[in-house]
A and B are shown apart, each in its own frame.
Chain A
Amino acid sequence: MNHSSKPETFADQVHAIPGGEHLELCYSCGTCVSKCMIQQKVEPEYNPRRLLRLVMMDMREEAFKSPTTWLCSACDLCYSACPQEVHISSVIGAVKQLAVEAGHESPLETVSVDESLCSGCGICVMVCPYEAPHLVEKEIDGEMDRVSEVDTNKCMGCGTCVAACPLGAIARPGVSNKEVRAQIDVPEVDGAPRLVVFVCDWCLRADDDVTLLESYPENVRVIHIPCTGRIDPEMALMALRSGIDGVLVCGCAPGECHYKRGTHVSTCKISLLNRMLDQMSIGDGRVRFVQIGTQDRGRVRNEVDATLKHLAPQKKEAV
C-alpha cells in the first residue's frame, strides 16, 4: 500500500503540526475528561477524548466547532493523568491552529487594548502565557506609534496582562480595572473585620465551596476573577486605604493553574507587596495569598475564618 498516494486526512494535518504527533496514542479511555475543570465548571460538552476521536475519524468541521478546540487553556492537568502520556493540550492546539487557518474564531471573552492609552512598553507581550499580544507600529491619531495588538484567537482571557499593564490600557469584559475597583466596597458590619476575598474562578473544585462564598455576611466581599494572575497590588492597597482590614487572594496550587502562570504571578506580586508592607512596618498579615489544591475541599472556609480571626484583634486596636 502506498501511503503517499492517499489524500491527506485531517489526522495527517494535525499530526504534521508540532505537538499534534501524539494523536494516535490516544485510546479514548477518557481519563482526561475526568481531570478537566472546564468540563466540570463551564461546558459539559467539553471533551478532549471525543475531540481526538473526531480528528481520527476525519470529522473536520465538527472538530472546528467543538468547544473543546477553543476552551482548552493548556493547564495540562490531563497530561499528568493520561496513561498514554499524550500531551493533549498540544494536540488540541494543533486542531485550533487548523481551525483558525480555516477562518474560525475563538468564542471566548478576550482582552482588548485601548491604543490611546497604550505606551507600547511590551510588558503584556512578555507576561502573556499564550503569546497573544505583540507590538505593532501603526498610525494613531495621525501619528505613527508603537502599540500592543492582541491575537484574540490565542487570548484565553486570564487577565494577567490586564493587571500587569501599568497604564490600565488593557481590559477584559467583567474584570477591567474599573469593574474590579467598583466591587472593592465593603460596608461596616457590627465592628467585624472587613475582608475582600479575590477568588480565582478555577481553584474551588467542590460545589459546597462555591456556594459557601455566596453565604458570607456583608463584611466579607467576594470578588471573582478569572485567574490570580489578574491580581494587582495597587487594588489591594486601594482596598486597605478605603478602610478594609484585609485582602485574601485564593488561587490554584502550583502546577494546577488553569492559565499556566497565574499562581506564580500572584505568588510573586503578593510576596513583593508584603515585603513592601514589611519595609514600612505595616505588614502584619493583612494581605494573604493561599493556594488551594485540587484535593483541598473545604479549605476556603478555613482560610477565610483564619484571616477574619487574625484581623479581629487588629480591628479592635484600631477602634
Chain B
Amino acid sequence: MAKANGKPKLAFYWAASCGGCEITVAELGMRLVEVGELVDIVFWPCVMDFKYSDVEALHHDEIDVCFFNGAIRNSESEHIANLLRDKSRLLVAFGSCSHTGGIPALANFYDRESILARAYDTAPSLDDSRGTRPTPSSEVAEGKIDIPVFYEHVKTLAQTVDVDYFMPGCPPVVDQVWNVFQTILTGELPKRGSVIGADGKTNCDVCPRKKGESGLRITEFKRPHEVDLDPDLCFLAQGVICCGPATRAGCGLPCINGNMPCRGCYGPPDDVVDQGAKLISAIGALVDTDEPEKLQEILDTIADPAGLGYRFGLADSILSELKYK
C-alpha cells in the first residue's frame, strides 16, 4: 500500500463503544511505534487531538484505511460513519460493536423511551425524577445547543454505510490486530466484504478440551460461578453454556483457557446466518430427561437465552431485523 507521494493514511474512530478496541491497539506496544513510522495517522480522537473539521477537510478517499469501532447509536455516530466512509478508501468495522452491534446493541431488547425513562427517572442512583429527556436542540442564554439524537435502536456499521472488511472481537485480540495491520500494509487483502483477523471454523475446532460423550444429556444448566469447572472437559458436557460451537475461531481462546466459556464475541462463522438461533439449535438438542414434563423446568435454568446467544450480536440478528423492519 506504499504511496508514491508518502505514507498511507490511517484513521481510527470510536462510536458507541467502551474504549476496549483502542486499548487493544495500544497493546501492540512497541509494534505500534513501528506502525507509526510506516503510516500517517490522520484521525484518532481517543489518542490525539483531532477535530471533525480535520476529517471534513480531507478529499474523498484520502484516508487509505479507517478502523471504525463502536456501534451506531445516535445521529453523531451515523454522521461520522458517513463522513469517514466518504473520506476512506477502505473502511474496516473493527471489533464486535461495529461488526455485529456488541454490548451496546443489547439495548435493542428495549425501546428508546424505556431506556431514557430508566436513565432519567427510575435508576436507583437518582434522588428524584424531573422527567428530563435529552433535547436535540435547545436555546439557552448563551445561544443554541445541539446534541446528537438518540436513536430508537442500535445498528451495526454495515447497516449504516458500506463496509469493506469486518474484524470481529470484543476486543479483537492484539495478535490479530497486528496480523491485519500487516495484511493491509502489504496489500494482500481477501475479497471485499470478508471477515479478516479471524478463522473460518468455530472455536470448538481449536478447543483442546475433551468433548462430551455419546448420549450425554443436560438435565440442568449452570452458570459458571455455580460450578467447580473441570478445566479439561467441554463446558457443555458440564451443563454450562458455551457459545464456542456457534462462534468464529481466531481469538486464541483466552476465555476458554481461563476456564470460562466462550461468550461469542467473534460472531458467527461463515454460513451461519443467525448466531443465537444456531446456538439454541445445538443446546436445545442436548437437553433431555425421562420425564418430559420436566423439560420446561430444565430450560428455565437458562436465565437469559437471547442475552446468551446474542451477547455481542443482537443488532446483526434476525430478531433485530424482525423488530425494527
Question: Which one of A119, A135, A231, A275 lies within 8 Å of B201 (CB-CB)?
Answer: A119
For A267, the chain B residues whose CB sits under 8 A away are 292, 295
For A160, the chain B residues whose CB sits under 8 A away are 285
Beta-carbon contact of B306 and A166 below 8 Å: no
Report how far A160 CA is from B305 CA in the complex, Å.
Answer: 21
Partner-contacting stretch, out of B89-97, B136-144, B177-185, B273-281: B273-281
For A134, the chain B residues whose CB sits under 8 A away are 214
For B237, the chain A residues whose CB sits under 8 A away are 126
Which A residues between 147 and 179 are near B, CB-CB below 8 angstroms? 160, 163-168
Which B residues between 290 and 318 are near A, CB-CB below 8 angstroms? 292, 295-296, 298-299, 302, 304-307, 309, 318
Beta-carbon contact of B307 and A279 below 8 Å: yes
Which interface residue of B108, B246, B285 has the most chain A CB atoms within 10 A? B285
Which B residues between 251 and 304 are near A, CB-CB below 8 angstroms? 269, 271-274, 276-289, 292, 295-296, 298-299, 302, 304
Interface size on A, residues (CB 8 A): 50
- Asked whether any CB of chain B lies closer than 8 Å to the CB of A254, the reply is yes
B216-243 vs A, CB cutoff 8 Å, 1 = contact: the mask equals: 1100000000000000001011000000
B8-32 vs A, CB cutoff 8 Å, 1 = contact: the mask equals: 0000000000000000000000000
Least CB distance from A232 to B in Å reads 5
Question: Which one of A165, A268, A276 lies within 8 Å of B319 (CB-CB)?
Answer: A276
For A168, the chain B residues whose CB sits under 8 A away are 271-272
Beta-carbon contact of A272 and B283 below 8 Å: yes
Report how far A241 CA is from B277 CA in the complex, Å.
Answer: 13
**10 A-B pairs whose Cβ atoms sit less than 8 Å apart in the complex:** A121-B244, A122-B212, A164-B282, A166-B202, A167-B202, A265-B287, A267-B295, A272-B280, A272-B283, A276-B306
- Asked whether any CB of chain B lies closer than 8 Å to the CB of A312, the reply is no
Beta-carbon contact of B319 and A280 below 8 Å: yes
Beta-carbon contact of A167 and B201 below 8 Å: yes
Question: Which one of B273, B281, B304 lies within 8 Å of A163 (CB-CB)?
Answer: B281
- Asked whether any CB of chain A lies closer than 8 Å to the CB of B60, the reply is no
- Asked whether any CB of chain A lies closer than 8 Å to the CB of B127, the reply is no
For B285, the chain A residues whose CB sits under 8 A away are 123, 127, 160, 163-164, 229, 265, 268-269
Helix, strand, loop or mixed for chain A's interface?
helix
- Asked whether any CB of chain A lies closer than 8 Å to the CB of B66, the reply is no
Q: What is the interface of chain A, defined by CB distance below 8 A to chain B?
A: 117, 119-123, 125-128, 131, 133-135, 160, 163-168, 229, 231-234, 236-238, 240-241, 254-255, 261, 263-265, 267-269, 271-273, 275-277, 279-282
For A263, the chain B residues whose CB sits under 8 A away are 292
For A241, the chain B residues whose CB sits under 8 A away are 318, 321-322
For A254, the chain B residues whose CB sits under 8 A away are 292
User: Which chain B residue shows the least CB distance to A145?
Assistant: B205
Least CB distance from A178 to B in Å reads 11
15 more CB-based (< 8 A) A-B contacts, given A125-B213, A281-B323: A122-B204, A123-B245, A123-B285, A123-B286, A164-B282, A166-B279, A233-B277, A234-B277, A234-B278, A237-B318, A261-B288, A264-B288, A269-B284, A271-B295, A280-B320
User: Which chain A residue shows the least CB distance to B309?
Assistant: A276
Contacts A121-B202, A122-B212, A276-B305; is A269 near B274 (CB within 8 Å)?
A: no
Report how far A149 CA is from B217 CA in the complex, Å.
Answer: 20
- Asked whether any CB of chain A lies closer than 8 Å to the CB of B133, the reply is no
User: Which chain A residue shows the least CB distance to B281?
Assistant: A232
For B302, the chain A residues whose CB sits under 8 A away are 272
For B187, the chain A residues whose CB sits under 8 A away are none
